[in-house]
Amino acid sequence: MAVADVDAPVKLNLPGRIREKIGPIGLYAALAAYTLFTLDGGDIAPRIVSAILLVLTACYLGIPFQQRLVFRLPVICLFGMACYGVAQTLWSSQKIVYNGWTGVLFWFTAASIGLLATQLFQDRDTAARFRIAFVVFGSAVCLLDLLEQGSHTNKYYWLVASRYHSVYGPFSYWNNFAQFVELFLPITLWLGLGGRKPVVPYILLSALQIGAVVASGSRAGAFLAIVELITVLVLVYLQNRNKALLYGAALALGLSLVFVYAAGFDTLLGKLQQNDQLSVRRDINKSSLAMIRQRPLTGWGLETYVPVYRMFARYDDGTYVNRAHNDWLQWTAEGGIFFAGLMLVAFVWSIRPAIRSVWGVGVIAVCLHALVDYPFARFGVCGWYFALIGMLAAQTAVKRTVEQQLKARGSRRFLYRRTAA
């Protein structure tokens, strides 16, 4: 029996085609707004976008009222983290109430993005168009970054002054920029190399993206971008072994080297020549572990890391420690091991579908980058992560539904033949 003979999962719709377009466009616009308004990391713009996104999600998921929603494990984990934050903020003795509700809003928004993506991207064509749009948007941000670096400006879009000496597209922090690229670089490589013939424009865009990451000076970002390139080449080769792929792989490697050389790697090289690559992070990690040891189960309260850290600081060089520089340790310090464990479950779940899809490898890279930095601090980066997690969940749900229908059809045919005999 052909797969085409199996009934496709019914897409949740309002009457007409309007709803089919509003959902993906609205999610894409919200995520793009998160990214474009990241800037120096203020709270006002992201919260406005979050409010609009939550209203959009409520309308899309609530109308019609009797529609059947698909919940997958990673989305359940995210909602569990939000509910944990509510309980902690209401009943825990150790908390800062305002910070706690801020954390609840963050995780509830993250779960809403994942849930919305799970409903939207059960249609493969919609998911494919969204990924292409993400690649186009991300490539434009990479080009913006290179132009800003080339002009030596510290103004976002050459208009909005930053309090930092340099900017990286819409980001003030080079690692956040690199983490953003890590999410769509595998998608670009998959679009360029995943077909029967290499698609040169996408290969060219992937080289641009790698060059931008290296030029930003992000050590972990450059390493993970190279790992992503190699991983995608290997996975695509295992799926499609032909001479055209070898040509595409050689082209991808060659163009990447050209763009790295053209964009410049002096900043990255200077950082790699430092004697101790973890000189600051090591002390911060020790402080984070000390925080965890005191409250391993309940944590200190969501979004309380910065004020609590001062009690455990091991050094004072006059700089402001704004994050733990390890999201996994920060989640454990703030929410306890069960809170961080929910995110770990979502990460472990994502590994298999991400590798099978090839284009989803970026979600693994970002979680690994979170071991040495904070990609989950701003929705301009992690909002896309939660959307891709929802997309992987949707594709997994569709695949399981098709397999169940094939199995059911096969069972019915077997019973029919047995009865006829």
Q: How high is the pLDDT of residue 120?
A: 92
358: left (phi over 0), alpha (psi -120 to 50) or beta: left
pLDDT in tens, 265-286: 999 999 888 887 777 889 999 9
Higher pLDDT, 406 or 377: 377
Average pLDDT of the segment spanning 54-74? 84
3-state secondary structure 244-256: HHHHHHHHHHHHH
DSSP 1-17: --GGGSPPPPPP--SSS
Neighbours of 231 (CB within 10 A): 18
d(CA 217, CA 408): 54
Q: How far is CA 218 from the centre of its chain?
A: 17
Least confident of 80-84, 94-98, 374-378, 408-412: 408-412
How far apart, in Å, do the first and last CA atoms of the chain sit?
Answer: 21
Tokens for 385, please give them. Answer: 């992560």
pLDDT band (50, 70, 90) for residue 296: very high
Q: How high is the pLDDT of residue 367?
A: 98
Q: How far is CA 339 from the centre of its chain?
A: 19
Q: Hey, which residues does 161 pair with through a beta bridge?
A: 155
| Residue 362 near residue 90 (C-beta atoms within 8 A) | no
Highest mean pLDDT among 11-20, 69-78, 104-113, 190-199: 104-113
pLDDT band (50, 70, 90) for residue 153: very high
Closest CA to 335 of 298, 287, 309: 298
Higher pLDDT, 355 or 419: 355
Least confident of 13-17, 64-68, 296-300, 302-306: 13-17
Q: How high is the pLDDT of residue 149?
A: 92
Of the chain, the percentage scoring pLDDT greater than 90 comes to 73
Domain count, the chain: 1
Residue 6 has pLDDT above 50, yes or no: no
d(CA 262, CA 282): 34
Average pLDDT of the segment spanning 372-398? 94
- Can you give the residue range of the structural domain that contains 408? 3-420
Q: Which residue has the tokens 């800003």?
A: 148
Average pLDDT of the segment spanning 116-130? 94
pLDDT band (50, 70, 90) for residue 141: very high
Highest mean pLDDT among 62-71, 306-315, 325-334, 397-406: 325-334
d(CA 90, CA 286): 29
| Residue 96 near residue 148 (C-beta atoms within 8 A) | no
Q: How high is the pLDDT of residue 111?
A: 97
Residue 373: strand, helix, or coil: coil
Q: How high is the pLDDT of residue 413?
A: 58
Residue 12 has pLDDT above 60, yes or no: no
Average pLDDT of the segment spanning 226-236? 96
Q: How far is CA 142 from the centre of its chain?
A: 17
DSSP 112-166: HHHHHHHHHTTSHHHHHHHHHHHHHHHHHHHHHHHHHHHHT--EETTTEEPSSS-
Average pLDDT of the segment spanning 337-355? 97
Of the chain, the percentage scoring pLDDT greater than 70 comes to 90
Residue 27 has pLDDT above 50, yes or no: yes
Q: How high is the pLDDT of residue 382?
A: 97
pLDDT band (50, 70, 90) for residue 3: very low
Q: How high is the pLDDT of residue 63?
A: 76
d(CA 150, CA 396): 43
Question: What predicted TM-score, i.e. pTM, was given to this entire model?
Answer: 0.91
Average pLDDT, the chain: 90
